[in-house]
Amino acid sequence: MNKILHSTYWITGLILLLGILLYGCEKEITIDIPPADPKLVIEGIIEADGINQTPPVVMLTKSTGYFEPTSLSALESLFIHDAVVSIRVDNVDYPLEELCLNNLDTSFLDIAASFLGVSPDQLNGFNYCIYTVPLGNLITNNYLYGEVGKTYALTVVHEGTTYTSTTQIPQLVELDSVWFKTQDSDSLGFAWARLTDPSQLGNAYRWRARRINQNQDGEPKDPTFVPPSGSSFEDKFFNGASFEFAYDRGLVDNDDPGDAPRYFNKEDTVAIKFCTIDMDVYQFLRIYEVEANSNGSPFSSPTTIPTNITGGGLGLWAGYGATYDTIIGY
Nearest to 278 by CA among 244, 317, 324: 317
Q: At 288, is the secondary structure helix, strand, or coil? A: helix
Task: Answer yes or no: are the C-beta atoms of 156 and 43 closer than 8 Å.
Answer: no
Q: Residue 79 gets which letter from DSSP?
A: B
* CB-based contact 83:60 (threshold 8 Å): yes
φ and ψ of 201, to 5 deg? -75, 150
Rounded Cα distance between 316 and 10, Å, is: 52
Angstrom distance (rounded) from CA 279 to CA 200: 14
In the 8-state DSSP scheme, what is residue 183?
S
206 strand-pairing partners: 232, 275
C-alpha neighbours within 13 Å on the C-beta side of residue 138: 18
* CB-CB contact of 317 with 308 (8 Å): yes
Q: How many residues does the chain have?
A: 330
Q: What is the pLDDT along the chain (330 residues), one digit of tens a residue?
A: 443 333 333 333 433 333 433 444 445 555 555 556 789 999 999 999 999 988 999 999 998 765 555 555 667 788 999 999 999 999 999 999 998 887 776 666 666 666 566 667 766 667 888 899 998 887 777 799 999 999 999 999 999 999 999 999 999 999 999 999 999 889 999 999 999 999 999 999 999 999 999 988 888 899 889 999 999 999 999 999 999 999 999 988 778 887 899 999 999 999 999 999 999 999 999 998 888 776 555 445 556 789 999 999 999 999 999 999 999 988
> Quick one: DSSP state of residue 223?
S
pTM, to two decimals: 0.82
The Cβ of residue 176 has, within 10 Å, a number of other Cβ atoms equal to 12
**In 26-102, alpha helices (H):** 72-76
Q: What is the CATH number of domain 40-168?
A: 2.60.40
In angstroms, the CA 330 to CA 328 distance is: 7
